[in-house]
Amino acid sequence: MNAVLLSLATLFSTFAGGLVAFKFRDRLHFVLSFTAGVLLGVVSFDILPEIFELARAQGIDATGAMIALVVGFLLFHSLEKFVLVHHAHEADYAAHRHPHIGVLSALALIGHSFMDGVAIGLAFQVSQAVGIIVAIAVIAHDFCDGLNTVSLMLVHRNTTARSVGMLVLDAIAPVLGAGSTLFFSVSAGMLMLYLGFFAGFLLYIGAADILPEAHSQKRPGVTGSLIGLTCMGAAFIFVVVRVIK
């Protein structure tokens, strides 16, 4: 089965996640809480185990990947603080509009989605069986990528049209990523560095951006529900990864 053709399924999965975010935009703080848990789960139960498995199988020290994780985290933090002037946690946030922050966050997820496609293509270079397993995993969590992308755009006050545009880019990114692997291959060590770097991006977006924003609007009696949804998001990815693998 061709990697590019199979990657087309991620397009529909991503769109489905984005449509869910649009439908429940009036309850975005609930969606954001779940999304933060999803990103935490992806990093903890999917990306990091993959790094350590690659390190074990290839006999490579995982320290470089962990350094890349810290670099990814601190790079996005620095961009927000020194370039984007992130105000997400101001008490009067509702009076501010910082669409560019949502765009950059969404672009980070789009980059991750592109590399998801690359992962599918490289897995097919190993064998068709491995490629199919990786593709199923990507299809499952690309639903959350679509949801995350739209949520990030909307919470930073981007227009619906711009949010749809980012969703489209996120949807086609895995297909482009899978197609790109027809022209190159990478070493296991480079793949580990990529995984670590994007794990840092995703960890920052979830823990320092999405989660605080979900709790930024003081609503009586919802804190427990928001925390519960975050736990559910992480548990969801835990189950998905275990079922697929």
Q: Rounded to whole angstroms, how far apart are CA atoms 26 and 134?
A: 34
Supply the pLDDT for residue 231: 95
Name the range with the highest mean pLDDT among 47-51, 142-146, 174-178, 218-222. Answer: 174-178
Length of the chain: 245
The predicted-structure confidence for 76-121, as pLDDT tens digits, reads as follows 888 777 655 444 444 444 444 567 777 877 887 788 789 888 878 8
Segment 8-33, tens digit of pLDDT: 888 898 998 888 888 887 777 888 78
Spacing of C-alpha 70 from chain mean position: 17
Q: Which residues contact 49 (CB under 8 A, 6 or more apart)?
A: 241
pTM of the full structure: 0.69
Answer yes or no: are the C-beta atoms of 178 and 118 closer than 8 Å.
Answer: yes
Structure confidence by residue, pLDDT tens digits, 46-86: 889 888 988 998 899 999 999 999 999 998 888 777 655 44
| pLDDT category of residue 212 using cuts at 50, 70 and 90 | confident
Tell me which DSSP letter residue 26 carries: G
Q: Please tell me what DSSP assigns to residue 216.
A: S
Q: Looking at this protein, which amino acid is placed at residue 80?
A: E
Confirm if 195 and 66 have CB atoms less than 8 A apart. no
Rounded CA-CA distance 173/195 in Å is: 17
